[in-house]
Structure 1
């Protein structure tokens, strides 16, 4: 399946260290070689970089590795195709507009036979189950609210829709409007919160370390979320299957645990 990477923080931060390890999973340290993408929110704007080449061979990935874009919310995806051919239209993350905001979505898993009714406002461009799920999710949210709801109400509705869609298969996903980051686990997702006092981290996928105390301030707080841990000398927390977390300002704000 695919690989997901997300970052949520309280001040704009670059993702160069984590991306250095993550991009190697697209054809070098792992077999996910069917395209990749990354989205950076900047205020109300969003930069999206996509390529249907493996991330370890992609000139676009080389650009991102050398471009210290700072953002409070980032979603990245490395694709291992399960549904849909390998092309740019099927490359995650996907972007749509709702309530005057850009929304970004990436999915890891396989939704067997998931064919919702065609929406009025959101329709897939490509042929993946992932984009169908995203369009269905957006369509249902827009039908429920004409304007942005309270965050707690939105969280509960995303949780309900995640349960509904998960009935069709594996639905690990990340969703963000640039203000918060929703993370849902079906099988594998892990996160870590980095805050003062900062220490040195070492990548799993490359012999690279960074001393975060030298590149941060005492008030920085950063949540990193990945399919599998990116470092081998830090304690990552595994999400439970069925768990949904909303990250804001670099920490979990709302958590829905699976029913016992």
Structure 2
């Protein structure tokens, strides 16, 4: 299956170190070679990069590893196709607009007999079960909270509660590890594998498990910085990663799980 990488922090931070290790799993240290993608929130905008090439061979991935784009919310994905052929339109993460802001989604897993009726503005472009699930979640949230014409949007606790009702309906069809963000926070759900680490003061040196690379975060941070990294499998060998429980839906805000 695919693998997920997310970052949520209290100040704009680059994800170069974590993405460098993660990208190696896209064809070098693992077999996720059917495309990849990453999305960075910057203010109200999103920088969105996808490629149907393996991350390890993609010139765009090389750019991301060398270009320190800073963001408070990032979602990345490396693909091992289960549904949908290898093509650009099937690469995660997917992006949609709702309530005047962008939403970004990525999924790891395989959904069987999942064929919800779509009757609103959200429609898949590609042929993956993942994009279909994203469109259904967006449709369901819009049905519950309105189209935003009133000028208001649901609060994070309201969204968390709504997703707590909706996500199990999708997960009932198979494996549904996912990440979802509107740029203000990061929602994560674990069916099988997901873990996180929170980097905060006092910062230490971290060493990647997929690449001979270490970073002393005390040299590139301030005592007020706080960064949560969420990933399918731990990225480093010398940090303590907390594993999600199966079925757990967790919200990250300002670098902390809620």
Counterpart-to-counterpart distance in 1, 2:73 and 2:118? 29
- Which structure 2 residues correspond to residues 1-260 of structure 1 after superposition, within 5 A? 1-146=1-146, 147=148, 148-253=153-258
Classify the secondary structure of the residue corresponding to 2:130: helix
Counterpart-to-counterpart distance in 2, 1:119 and 1:81? 27
Counterpart-to-counterpart distance in 2, 1:152 and 1:120? 24
How many matched pairs?
Answer: 253
Instruction: Could you tell me which runs of 5 or more consecutive residues in structure 2 were left unpaired when the two chains were aligned.
Output: none
CA deviation map 1:30-57 (0-9, x unaligned): 0000000000000000000000000000
Moved more, 143-152 or 97-106: 143-152
Note the C-alpha offset of 1:153: 1.3
Note the C-alpha offset of 1:247: 0.3
Q: Deviation above 6 Å: which 4+ runs of structure 1?
A: none
Q: TM-score, normalised by structure 1?
A: 0.96
Note the C-alpha offset of 1:149: 1.0
Q: TM-score, normalised by structure 2?
A: 0.97
Note the C-alpha offset of 1:150: 2.0
Counterpart-to-counterpart distance in 1, 2:200 and 2:41? 21
Classify the secondary structure of the residue corresponding to 1:68: coil
Note the C-alpha offset of 1:159: 1.2
Note the C-alpha offset of 1:118: 2.1
Contact 1:119–1:136 (CA<8 Å) still a contact in 2? Answer: no
Counterpart-to-counterpart distance in 2, 1:21 and 1:99? 35
CA root-mean-square deviation: 0.6
Contact 2:113–2:173 (CA<8 Å) still a contact in 1? Answer: yes
Counterpart-to-counterpart distance in 1, 2:93 and 2:119? 20
Counterpart-to-counterpart distance in 2, 1:27 and 1:173? 21
Counterpart-to-counterpart distance in 2, 1:17 and 1:8? 14
Instruction: Could you tell me which runs of 5 or more consecutive residues in structure 1 were left unpaired when the two chains were aligned.
Output: 254-260
Classify the secondary structure of the residue corresponding to 1:56: helix
Note the C-alpha offset of 1:119: 2.8
Moved more, 231-240 or 146-155: 146-155
CA deviation map 1:51-100 (0-9, x unaligned): 00000000110111111100000000000000000000000000000000
Equivalence for 1:257: none
